[in-house]
Structure 1
Amino acid sequence: MQWLTVFNKEMLELSRNYKWIWVPLVFILLGLMDPLTAYYMPQILDAVGGLPEGAVIDIPTPPAVDVFMMSVGQFNMIGIAVIVLIAMNTIAGERKSGVAELILVKPVRLSAYVTAKWAGYSLLAAASVFAGMLSSWYYVSILFEKIPFTHLLITAAFYSLWILFIMALTLFMNTLVKVPGVVAFLTIFILILMQIIGGIFDHVIKWTPSLTTSHLPEVLQTGEISSELWGTAITIVVLIAILLTAASFTLKHKEMA
């Protein structure tokens, strides 16, 4: 009952702030931008001008999977920034204003408080990512080559795990500091550091969460899930559990307001 109460509070707050409208719209725009740009690039270059007279624009048609992964790349840059920004104030702001103290004095279990907030924001983030992937898949299938819908669903499921990990990391940072800007900075810094380490040592650390995206093209092409992707998914689930537990423990020992 406590968990559902906090979860419903988060859903109501997200609705009142119109996040259930503008966040999915951002991902939908990110999803359709690259397929349209890639398909109409010759016309765009021709309209912009600046080419020598008589020049012929001959751009080879990129594979459908590559175009779709361009959209995923947008999610990994702009989309993740949006996700971190919408969640950077979820606990830190309530701790700073004293709202968290009022809620937890009921008493509400810290684990219920943290996990309910994580579930609410994760639901919004995962739904927005799926909406963005769906828009990209639709235009890629029309303009380039059809990607099986089942492959899209598998891809979205595994990529959503990466998004849930980012949300758990953001909430953990919320329990460490009270300043939302610092929460966003620390979260993005750690994500960038993970990307760098994962890129350098990808031949050694094959199950790091930051490598999730690198396994997705195979899923899109064949629909098969590699052992590396399964290992990455298991690692992400374990890290999410650790982060949420650590967030509850940290919040217990932090001054509320």
Structure 2
Amino acid sequence: MQWLTVFNKELLESWRNFKWIWVPLVFILLAITDPLTTYYLPQILEATGGLPEGATFEMPEPPPSEVFMMSVSQLNLLGVLIIALITMGTISGERKSGVAELVLVKPIAYHSYITAKWAAYTLLVCVSIFIALSASWYYVNLLFGEVSAASLFQTVFFYSLWTTFILAISIFMNTLSKTAGLVLFFTISLVIILNLLSNVFSHIAEWSPALISSHLRNSLITGDLTSALWGSAGITTLLIILLLAVATYTLKHKEIS
């Protein structure tokens, strides 16, 4: 009951702040931009006068799976920033205003408070990702060729796992600082560092959470779920559990002290 109370409170607050409207809409916009601009690029250049008179622009048509992965890359670039923005004050703001202290004195268990907030944002983000990638999948199938429904669902599943990992990082950073701006900075910085290290040392860190998108691309091309993708998914799941556990300990320690 404690957990559901915090979970429902967070969902209601997200609805009142219109997050359930604008987050899916922004994700859809990000996801369909690349497929549409790739298909209509010759017409766009011709309409804007970007070509010399009499010149023609011919671009080889990319494979449907590659176009679909463009949407994932776009979400990976700007979607991460949106996730960090919508969660940067979820705990830090309540700690700063004293709301967290009132909630936790009910008493509500620290782990219920942490995991309920994480789960509420996970639901919001995963639903947004599913809607956005479904829109991209529709346009890719319409304009470029077939991408199977199985490929759509596997992409949604594994990419959603990466975003829930980012949410866990943000929740953890919320327990370290009461300043929302610092939470945003630390979250984005850690994600950037993880991406850089994973790409530089990809031969060593093959199961890094940051390489899920790369493994997804290979899986879509080959049609097989690789061991590297499953390995990254397993490590990501373990790190999510660890981050939430450390966030619970950190919040409890700070509130008691």
TM-score (norm: length of structure 2)? 0.98
TM alignment of 1:150-169, pairs within 5 A: 150-169=150-169
> Residues 7-51 of structure 1, C-alpha deviation per residue, up to 9 Å, x if partnerless?
010111011111001100001111111111000000000011142
Q: 1:50 to 1:142 in 2, by over 3 A?
A: closer
TM alignment of 1:109-188, pairs within 5 A: 109-188=109-188
Q: Residues of 1 paired with 2:6 and 2:224: CA distance? A: 38
User: What CA RMSD, in Å, does the superposition of the two structures yield over aligned residues?
Assistant: 1.2
User: Which segments of 5 or more consecutive residues in structure 1 lack a partner in the other structure?
Assistant: none
TM-score (norm: length of structure 1)? 0.98
Instruction: Tell me the equivalent position of 2:236.
Output: 236
Supply the AA of the counterpart residue of 1:143: L
Instruction: Tell me the equivalent position of 1:74.
Output: 74
Supply the AA of the counterpart residue of 1:123: L
Q: Residues of 1 paired with 2:3 and 2:9: CA distance? A: 10
Q: CA deviation at 1:222?
A: 4.2
Q: Residues of 1 paired with 2:256 and 2:220: CA distance? A: 46
Instruction: Tell me the equivalent position of 2:248.
Output: 248
Secondary structure (helix, strand or coil) at the match of 1:205 reads: coil
Q: CA deviation at 1:151?
A: 1.2
Supply the AA of the counterpart residue of 2:66: D
Q: 1:221 to 1:50 in 2, by over 3 A?
A: closer
Does the CA contact (< 8 Å) of 1:32 and 1:135 recur in 2?
yes
> Residues 77-117 of structure 1, C-alpha deviation per residue, up to 9 Å, x if partnerless?
11110011000010000000000000000110000000000
- Further displaced range: 215-224 or 142-151: 215-224
Q: CA deviation at 1:65?
A: 1.3
Q: CA deviation at 1:221?
A: 3.3
Q: Residues of 2 paired with 1:7 and 1:256: CA distance? A: 23
Supply the AA of the counterpart residue of 2:199: G
User: Which segments of 5 or more consecutive residues in structure 2 lack a partner in the other structure?
Assistant: none
Q: Residues of 2 paired with 1:48 and 1:256: CA distance? A: 62
Does the CA contact (< 8 Å) of 1:150 and 1:223 recur in 2?
no
TM alignment of 1:1-257, pairs within 5 A: 1-255=1-255
Does the CA contact (< 8 Å) of 2:10 and 2:120 recur in 1?
yes
Q: Residues of 1 paired with 2:64 and 2:165: CA distance? A: 28
Task: Tell me the matched-pair count.
Answer: 257
Q: Residues of 2 paired with 1:179 and 1:248: CA distance? A: 18
Secondary structure (helix, strand or coil) at the match of 2:193 reads: helix
Q: CA deviation at 1:54?
A: 1.1
Does the CA contact (< 8 Å) of 2:101 and 2:255 recur in 1?
no
Q: CA deviation at 1:218?
A: 2.9
Does the CA contact (< 8 Å) of 2:68 and 2:137 recur in 1?
yes
Runs of 4+ in 1 over 6 A off after TM superposition: none
- Further displaced range: 28-37 or 108-117: 28-37
- Further displaced range: 220-229 or 55-64: 220-229
Secondary structure (helix, strand or coil) at the match of 2:3 reads: helix
Does the CA contact (< 8 Å) of 1:101 and 1:256 recur in 2?
no
Quote the sequence identity (%): 56
